[in-house]
Amino acid sequence: MLKLAVMVSGGGTNLQAIIDAIEDGRIQNVCIETVISNNKNAFALKRAEKAGIPAKCISPKDYEDRDAFHDALLRVLEESGADLVVLAGCMVVIPEKIVRRYENRIINIHPSLIPSFCGKDQYGLKVHESVLARGVKVTGATVHFVDSGTDTGPIILQKAVEVRQGDTPELLQRRVMEEAEWVIMPRAIHLIASGKIQVTDGKVIEIQ
């Protein structure tokens, strides 16, 4: 059984996609041990509560400095016994000490086809604003392992989404979530839980 710790910051629709996929069998041999939010008002916490999943808020505001916050985060992750840390709409920059401790065991969902429209300042709605400003015809989402860079870790899965005439950032964000994020995040977790994902020379290989 693969134990997950899911880190959230906002609406929690990716968390909900994982919960639903476990429920309907698209993800097997996985258990969400804990949900951790840096934002006490995150609706994702309500989703966890409704699903009966232990959840807690670890907010940087409650610690005297960044280091203390990171130590608290690491402690909670270790106490959860998580095998895999899932960043699902998580806005916290994961510190080096946690990345090292969970090498190739932290995954993140980014709302573009990496390496396009990613890196510092490219998150949430800003990504879709950049996509529309550039006029690309195809965008999408990426699930990748987290390394010490920003959106630079080995790519696990990607899914393309069409950009339509008249799209607003909000319309595009919703389509990318519905057609890509909520599909590839559960699938990536299922593949990892099934032992089908291997990282070699910084590239992900799916074992058939």
Q: How far is the CB of 26 from ligand GRF (least distance, A)?
A: 17
With CB under 6 A as the contact rule, which of the stretches 6-14, 19-27, 52-60, 94-102 interacts with ligand GRF? 6-14
* Least gap, CB of 201 to ligand GRF (angstroms): 27
Decide: residue 25, CB within 10 A, 0-12 exposed, 13-18 middle, 19+ buried. exposed
Q: How many residues does the chain have?
A: 208
- Helix 125-134 vs helix 169-176: crossing angle, to nearest 10: 110
Per-position x/- string for 70-109, each x denoting binding to ligand GRF as judged by CB under 6 A, each - no binding: ------------------xx-------------------x
Closest separation in Å from C-beta 133 to ligand GRF: 17
Can you list the positions of beta strands (E) in 13-129? 30-37, 55-57, 84-87, 106-110
Q: Where do we find the tokens 């880190």?
A: 7
User: Using CB under 6 A, which of the segments 7-15, 22-30, 155-163, 164-172 binds ligand GRF?
Assistant: 7-15
For residue 100, give every residue at least 6 positions away whose Cβ sits within 8 Å of its Cβ, in sequence order, or none: none
- Amino acid occupying residue 21: A
Q: Of 39-58, which residues contact ligand GRF (CB under 6 A)?
A: 44
Q: Give the separation between CA 201 and CA 190, rounded to whole angstroms.
A: 22
88 vs 107, beta carbon nearer ligand GRF = 88
State which residue, 59 or 71, has the beta carbon closest to ligand GRF.
59
Identify residues 109-168 at the interface with ligand GRF (CB under 6 A): 109, 111, 124
Quick one: DSSP state of residue 59? -
Can you give the binding site for ligand GRF, defined by CB under 6 A?
8, 10-15, 44, 88-89, 109, 111, 124, 173, 177, 181
